Structure 1
Amino acid sequence: MPAPDALLLVSTHCPHCPAMLTALADLLKQGVIGRLEAVNLEQRPEVGLALGVRTVPWLRLGRIDLAGVHSKTELADWAAKADSEAGIADWFHVLLKEGQLPKAQAMIEAAPTLLAAVLPIVGNIDASLNVRLGAGVLLEEFAGSDTLRALLPRLGELSQHADARVRADACHYLGLTGDAAAKPWLDARLDDEDADVREIAAESVQALVV
């Protein structure tokens, strides 16, 4: 995977911007990022307006946007995974944790295949309730779609997760596919040890087109 490109927005009077610029320049020299473009918003305010950016420093790294100050180590970590599903999943987690659901929604609407990056959140038992609910909203928006049906095998795997919450959520999303191919996974959960999982699996079976 090629190194991601970086776009850094700064301003003349930003006390934190020079450190970010220096760190990114070092990562450019090391080949961790492929290209670095820096824009001073005091000279090019139209760039900030086009991107909806109001505070600096602001960084676009591959497909990931990062606001505020980040250390060189943090930037290198994000650069290493910026265009991978794992990296997008981590970024979605940050957005949902910060209450920026609309931003995640807009990104997935623009590139529906990124919906797959929501699944690691479903399987993350340490994710907060708000984050898990946000992930649910993202998946529910694609109910009955080919995009969600394409994730059926992975949802099936999640329906076998050791944690009952994950199994229950996976059963719900399997039902939202509306695909008869989800039935074997759901049938296997009809006698689950957890009552909530059994109930959701039964409801989801009824939602399928068989």
Structure 2
Amino acid sequence: MSAPDALLLISTQCPYCPAMLSSLADLVKRGAIGRLEAVNLNVHPEVGQTLGVWTVPWLRLGRIELAGMRSPAELAEWAAKADSETGLADWFHMLLKEGQLPRAQALIEADPTLLAAVLPIVGNVEASLNVRLGAGVLLENFAGSDTLRALLPRLGELSQHADARVRADACHYLGLTGEAAARGWLDARLADEDADVREIAAESLESLPPAA
């Protein structure tokens, strides 16, 4: 994976911005970041207005956007995984954990390919209930869409997960695809050892068109 480019928004009055700028410049020297652009909003307020950014420091690292001060270690970690599915999934996990569901929703609506980054959250048994519910909202927003149908094979894999909660959620999302091809994975779950999984699989099958 190539090193991501970075855009840092700062202001003259910001006490945290110099440290962020220094840390990012060090990552450029080390090759962990390909290019760094820093914009002072006191001089170019139009940049912040265009991006909808009102507080600094604010950083775009690849496709990931981070608001607020970040330590050198955090910046190095994000730079190493920026634009990878792991990094994008961690970013969405962070947004949902911080209660920024509307922000996550807006990001995916602007770039539906980001929906795939939600799937690792579905399979993360350690994710909190609020995070899992938020991931569910994001997926449900694309019910019946080509974007969700494109994730069908991966949802099928999640329906075979060792954790019953993951299997149950995957069965629900398979039903939301509206795709007859989901029937094979759902049929297999009708004999699942978990009653909730069996019930959700049956409900999802009822919502799907018949197999061709």
* TM-score, normalised relative to structure 2: 0.96
1:184 aligns with 2:173: no
Q: Secondary structure at the match of 2:36?
A: strand
In 2, the alpha carbon distance for the partners of 1:113 and 1:21 equals 30
CA-based RMSD: 0.9
Is 1:98 equivalent to 2:98 in the alignment? yes
Displacement of 1:176 in angstroms is: 0.5
Give 1:156's aligned amino acid: G
Quote the Cα distance in structure 2 between the aligned partners of 1:99 and 1:72.
25
Q: 1: CA distance between counterparts of 2:114 and 2:45?
A: 30
The aligned residue for residue 23 of structure 1 is 23
| Mean CA deviation greater in 106-115 or 63-72 | 106-115
Shift of 1:69: 1.0
What is the distance in 1 between the residues matched to 2:101 and 2:153? 25
Worse overlay, 197-206 or 35-44: 35-44
Structure 2 residue identity aligned to 1:113: T
CA deviations over 1:102-132 (Å, ceiling 9, x no partner) = 2211221122121111000000011111111
Give the counterpart letter for 1:118 in structure 2. V
Q: Segments of 4+ in structure 1 off by > 3 A? A: none
Say which SS state the counterpart of residue 38 (structure 2) adopts. strand
Partner residue, 2:163: 163
Return the alpha-carbon distance in structure 1 between the equivalents of residues 52 and 97 of structure 2.
20
TM-score under structure 1 length normalisation: 0.97
Structure 1 stretches of 5 or more lacking a match? none
Shift of 1:100: 1.0
Structure 1 residue 52 displacement after superposition: 1.4
Q: Which residue does 1:37 correspond to in 2?
A: 37
Q: Which amino acid aligns with 1:96?
A: L
Q: Identity over the aligned pairs, expressed in percent? A: 81
1:1-210 alignment to 2 at 5 Å? 1-210=1-210
